[in-house]
Structure 1
Amino acid sequence: MLEDRVLFIDAEAIVIDKPAGLPVDPPRDSTRSLVDMMDELTFGFQRLPTAVHRLDRDTSGCLLLSRNPKAQKRFHAAFEAGQVSKRYLAILDGVPEGESGEIDLPLKKVSSAASGWRMRGDPTGKPARTRWRLLAARDGRALVAFHPETGRTHQLRVHAAEGLGIPITGDPIYGRAEAAVMLHAAAITVPRPGKPDISAEAPWPERFSDLGFSHG
């Protein structure tokens, strides 16, 4: 039940802990998406909430929804202006060099009939920047915190695979699809002039614990 996954709610916004495996928009395979379940999140409002941004199907964690068009417009503007703070957690198929850093790698969409579309690092692509910090290492894998400063499609997945040279564990496109994708939107903060910030933190994902990484 999505109502049990609400992390923040007021008259303008809802933040849910989106489960891994649930697409935000209706996918081509016609499986159920978050859009099909918005009626579970009205909480007395007649208007259905609307997703402000997107998380990949296999990414879990904090997803912001707006409850009216005016709020949707303001939240979009905050994202476009780079005012929204997001923190992701990822398990990588290796341990990066150093303790922290910034990845500045523009991204461009490429496609082919054989393999479909994907993103890749390209100097002619759109600017993309991510700060990262090593949190823990275990059994040849690393737990890393990512703080994206831009919001490009597949940004963290490509920045891990190409920027750090180590893909996210379970990534079927940029790594090896041997497990669930280990990427989790752990926290989000959205400033609102004249009102308290929207702030939420998602629970620690069980699939991270299954690989031996614990919270804190």
Structure 2
Amino acid sequence: MDFSILFEDGEALVIDKPAGLPLDRPRAGGVSLEDHLDALRFGFQREPFPVHRLDRDTSGCLLLARNPKALKRFSAAFEAREVEKVYLGVVAAEVEGDSGTIELSLTKISSAEKGWRMIPAKKGKPAITHWKVVSRKPGMTLVEFRPETGRTHQIRVHALAGLGAALLGDPIYGDGKGAPRTMLHAAALTVTRGEKPPIAATAPLPIDFAMLGFEDLSER
């Protein structure tokens, strides 16, 4: 698999993760990011290690640490909310309003019929997402999401509960229709590093977003 390298230095690597590639090996078997870590060493002694999580369907910026010290420091930055994350998602509806903030705490539930999922709950973990409409098409809206927190499935649940509709193609929080995958893309990532220049990466809009008629604003 030919990864696009969005940022690279002696302690960090940011790749443009393709949609459909899980980070961990699936229970049923199949290819995962683990199969490509050796090729991503690029001459370094150690394999790089993912600092944060992206869902299998989510494409875009994924930060990898090249050594244990960097992994610990970057992980602490995520925990302390010193990381700026920008996502683009296609909401399967015409969203009302132009921008806002969704504050809905989330908790995990599980059932034999539907498996596990996240739901809004007052006693859940705090979750905050800022959003802004980028573009509208009939029956769908391209929205920029800037999550303050990093809860599992946060943007997917906040889209449904906060904006009134799930992301296009989402099989868990929506009907799974309209796209072959959940239409969510990690478009940009910035990680501060004290006196060092920040890690800054931008991932171009994937072709499946363009096929829906949405433009890559970074090319304007």
What are the within-5 Å matches in structure 2 for residues 120-159 of structure 1?
A: 120-159=119-158
Q: CA deviation at 1:36?
A: 1.7
- Does residue 49 in structure 1 map to residue 48 in structure 2? yes
- Write the deviation string for residues 18-53 of structure 1: whole angstroms up to 9, x where unpaired: 000000111112111001210110011120000000
Instruction: Give the structure 2 partner of residue 30 of structure 1.
Output: 29
Q: CA deviation at 1:89?
A: 0.2
Q: Distance in 2 between matches of 1:22 and 1:40?
A: 16
Q: Distance in 2 between matches of 1:214 and 1:140?
A: 17
Q: Distance in 1 between matches of 2:136 and 2:28?
A: 37
- Write the deviation string for residues 150-178 of structure 1: whole angstroms up to 9, x where unpaired: 00000000000111111100001001212
Unaligned runs of 5+ in 1: none
Aligned length: 215
Q: CA deviation at 1:69?
A: 0.2
What are the within-5 Å matches in structure 2 for residues 174-193 of structure 1?
A: 174-178=173-177, 179=179, 180-193=181-194
What are the within-5 Å matches in structure 2 for residues 20-169 of structure 1?
A: 20-169=19-168
Q: Structure 1-normalised TM-score?
A: 0.98
Q: Distance in 2 between matches of 1:30 and 1:8?
A: 30
Q: Distance in 1 between matches of 2:25 and 2:148?
A: 27
Instruction: Kindly provide the amino acid, as one letter, of the partner of residue 87 in structure 2.
Output: Y
Moved over 6 A (4+): none
RMSD value, Cα:
0.8
2:204 and 2:216 in contact (8 A); partners too: no
Instruction: Give the structure 2 partner of residue 204 of structure 1.
Output: 205
Q: Structure 2-normalised TM-score?
A: 0.96
Q: Distance in 2 between matches of 1:28 and 1:146?
A: 31
Unaligned runs of 5+ in 2: none
Instruction: Give the structure 2 partner of residue 195 of structure 1.
Output: 196
